[in-house]
Amino acid sequence: MAKQPELDDFRVPYFDGGKKNNAFSLDAFDPTAKPFSTGSKEADRARLSEIGAKLDTLQECLHAQQKRRVLLVLQGMDTSGKDGTIRAVFKEVDPLGLRIVPFKAPTPVEQAHDFLWRVHAQAPAAGELTIFNRSHYEDVLVPTVLGTLDAEAFEQRCCHIRQFEELLTCSGTTIIKCMLHISKDEQRERLQARIDDPDKHWKFDVSDLEARKQWDQYQAAYREALAATSTDYAPWYVIPADSKTHRNVMVAELLLRTFEALKLEYPPAKESLKGVKVE
């Protein structure tokens, strides 16, 4: 009998003892796979709604306690579905205590500081679930592909990222990092769809085509970055993302497992409110 897939089957091996896992490869993960699909798009959406209701309660407990913090990092190639994942997974979740941070190219002011300066300012506060739509990893991936970050600087930045994420973890932040793994063929179809539909032109940028020409370089940069920064306190997960509904369900399942492990509860009832009647 075939082994049922588990979420940890898609976790990038932990960086250990100052050495990254050179055996890790994105090629080992099939972007077309649907290991956590419930059988159909309709069933997947029903499961997503079920998880969403649970996440709504758990996130409310997180916000009510004002003790812990949760950070979800979403990375992926253009069209891999970072926006779509956020819309679908958090559709049922009360926006109170939920914050989404999109990271774009750094401004001149941000460039005048260390690369983590702008990121630390956006880290979740107590009681917050914060989602990074792109993240500090852009400052490793993009300059590596463009050739403005050499191997030594790359390793240094990865070291700083590990230390930064360890600091957040020690301060009560639970970190989940998802690389939305899309195939080159699926990206071509999604980019073409944006070009063919005038209502989607706002989502398309000519620079997307330039980045596509560097597909192999980006895949290599992702492999190196994930292998160097997947730790026991901030693990990376590779999410097969050619199927949008499967991608959403898998991220939701991962979040649900993470939240349930936090053992969140509502704060104790206030004795002072016993017997109080509103006139």
Q: pLDDT for 233-248, tens place per residue? A: 999 999 999 999 999 9
Q: Residue 277: inside a domain, yes or no?
A: no
The per-residue pLDDT for 2 is: 52
Dihedral angle sign, alpha carbons of residues 48, 52, 54, 59: positive
Residue 75 Cα distances to 119, 128, 236, angstroms? 15, 20, 10
48 burial via Cβ count (<10 Å: 0-12, 13-18, 19+): buried
List the domain range (segments joined by +) for residue 97. 29-263
* Average pLDDT of the segment spanning 20-24: 73
For 43-68, write each residue's pLDDT tens digit: 999 999 999 999 999 999 999 999 99
Q: Residue 22: inside a domain, yes or no?
A: no
Q: Residue 159: inside a domain, yes or no?
A: yes
Q: Is the pLDDT of residue 19 over 70?
A: no
Q: Residues 253, 36: contact at Cβ < 8 Å? A: yes
Residue 50 Cα distances to 175, 216, 249, angstroms? 23, 38, 10
Half-sphere exposure of 41 (CA within 13 A, CB side): 4
Whole-model pTM?
A: 0.94
Q: Residue 279: inside a domain, yes or no?
A: no
Q: Residue 168: inside a domain, yes or no?
A: yes
Report the CATH number at residue 145.
3.40.50.300
CA distance 217 to 58: 39
Q: Residue 34: inside a domain, yes or no?
A: yes
Characterize the bridge pairing of strands 129-133 and 173-181: unpaired
The per-residue pLDDT for 206 is: 86
Q: Residue 176: inside a domain, yes or no?
A: yes
Q: Residues 63, 265: contact at Cβ < 8 Å? A: no
The residue to which tokens 């080992």 are assigned: 28
How far does CA 176 lie from the centroid of its chain?
6
For 199-258, write each residue's pLDDT tens digit: 999 988 888 898 999 999 999 999 999 999 999 999 999 999 999 999 999 999 999 999
The number of folded domains in the chain is 1
Q: Residue 270: inside a domain, yes or no?
A: no
The per-residue pLDDT for 18 is: 64
Q: Is the pLDDT of residue 104 over 80?
A: yes
